[in-house]
Amino acid sequence: MMGKYSLPYVVGHSKQAHSDWLRSALIRAVCCCSCVDDFHLERLTLELAYLTNGYSLRFVESHLDNFFDYFHAAEM
């Protein structure tokens, strides 16, 4: 059973694969969450998953910034 903060991981996956997974998970959260608060809770869970799996805060923040910039959602 995977823990709450586990990332899908297979030996040999690059940071690019996890970057793509983070973006996909954020897109899924936008589609599935019925309100902004639910989305923010899912986003925080994703952030914690990356941080507890050894990714730097800089990595997480830069990918989140890129996501919000790409979808013109900087006001969230």
Query: So what's the pLDDT on residue 2?
Result: 54
Cα–Cα distance for residue pair 76/69, rounded to 1 Å: 11
The structure's pTM equals 0.81
For the segment 15-45, what is each residue's pLDDT rounded down to a tens digit? 777 788 899 999 999 999 999 999 999 999 9
Do residues 33 and 39 lie in contact, with contact meaning Cβ atoms separated by under 8 Å? yes
